[in-house]
Structure 1
């Protein structure tokens, strides 16, 4: 009892310490409450995507409640909340500009749905798959750099959410998870052009039919949602005459995650198809053909023996 009385007297003699202690108690209660909600949601929500989004929502609400609790507690009146926020913002805007932009960026990403975990994006010159988004950073599994095509480099990149306000965000999978790609084939002059067109188109239809069917419905949704004209999703073949060969350009649609393997498959099957034409269609190469060696007449003056 004497110890309890001593503690009460100490708190009475130190009102500032009492206020801080009560504030810490409230913060601990708030954190425990939020953790309880997160665990309950994690346990009862079966869907991984829904569970992830709910965790991030609880985290955002927790930050907001903590700010409200802090400002209202130390101002002593919730009606002073707006004034306190204004004074607080004016004081820390410059020093914590990046932090503020990061938090605002996380809210912007969440509500506007700029991107979400699982999307492939390019932002601030970095391309990769989004694997996590929190209140400060977007975490990506990097693609490219020293690795060719769309393969993972193995590096995990943490990028400030503030970058959504500083430049364009390229999303490879949102709304329309397909991209257009193309390959170019040099065909020798003198080859059977119609046969070449037929063989290349046949391979394209065989390899790309599944992507074409899947993309048609997705593209219709894009046309309904945005002000954009309808597009051709079937493979298209264009021919260009150059100084060295006939250039065949095949443009096609493909799943954004299967671009590399699809290109490999197209090249492989087209090569086999052209070889099966028994010389009627030949691939060209940048070689130099020496047609004639010019004659060079070299005359020398006889030596003067005098």
Structure 2
């Protein structure tokens, strides 16, 4: 082919121009990779801060590679372009390690079934209901914080999937959608203890019967699946004598999403039943009671 012979002749006659031309192609290739990766990050990373840092990191690594490439090319100490590509790839991997971890985390979440949308979890100190899981982020509706009990705060949180590799994950609903809760009741000394116990146990059994029945079946599944001992799911009452009152500690199982409403219902029903005892059972408090006012003689 005449044009091939022409190119070979031109290269032989103009080695300097050919070297510059080859260098320009290498630089253009590196710049093209930088822009390509920047555009990929702009589309895939939704978090503004993470996107900005990743793009800046890629630019810095690209310019460092260009400097190494220029020095090596013109000094002739490194002639193999594959080494430059290797350095550039290593730099990309270091800069985007959080992104790669997030993608790996999403696969881990899906395959191992760590959690799924609708689960209530706590991860990295953040508690909430999972409302979406994508390739990079887990989106949660936050609960708790400044709001008492397990109520929504109204804040939607996006958390990197990489956190599944960095700490424990607390799942409130996987396999066993119930939790144990406790209620403390201060009973005044002198109250009818047997009557007080019967009131608490009766009300707890009535209100919690559905949770107790459903949890028994599901707890058997947990025992069969994991290396764990059997547990008592029926309401249990423990009594502790304190300096000020007799403390009733009611421990019971409840649906993880109905903890607050159930506790309110227990308090309300127990208070109503205690009032019906006409003073036989009295709820205690830290209020000071003056039995007798000492006489004061004025001289």
Alignment TM-score, normalising by the size of structure 2 = 0.69
In the TM superposition, 1:189-208 aligns within 5 A as 189-208=189-208
Q: Which residue of 1 aligns with 2:242?
A: 242
TM alignment of 1:1-306, pairs within 5 A:
90-293=90-293
The 1:222/1:88 distance shift into structure 2, 3 A limit, reads farther
Deviations 1:19-60 (A, max 9, x none): x9xxxxxxxxxxxxxxxxxxxxxxxxxxxxxxxxxxxxxxxx
Deviations 1:202-258 (A, max 9, x none): 000000000001000110010011110000000000000000000000000000011
Tell me how many residue pairs correspond in the alignment: 219
Change over 3 Å in CA distance of 1:86–1:251 after alignment to 2? farther
> CA shift at 1:289, angstroms?
2.1
Deviation at 1:277, TM superposition (A): 1.1
Show CA shifts across 1:88-125 (max 9, x none).
76332321111111111101101011000010001111
Mind listing any 5+ residue stretches in structure 1 that lack a counterpart? 1-15, 21-84, 300-306
Q: Distance in 1 between matches of 2:238 and 2:131?
A: 39
Distance 2:187 2:244 in 1: 9
CA distance in 2, matches of 1:298, 1:89: 95
Q: CA RMSD in A?
A: 2.2
**Residues 1:87 and 1:186: Cα distance change in structure 2 (over 3 Å):** same
Tell me the distance in 1 between the aligned counterparts of 2:117 and 2:284.
Answer: 45
Q: Secondary structure at the match of 1:208?
A: helix
Structure 1 runs of 4+ with >4 Å offset: 85-89, 292-299
Secondary structure class of the residue paired with 1:176:
coil
Segments of 5+ residues of structure 2 without an aligned counterpart are 1-24, 30-84
Select between 232-241 and 88-97 the one with higher mean Cα deviation: 88-97
> CA separation of 1:89/1:215 partners in 2, compared to 1, >3 Å: closer, same or farther?
farther
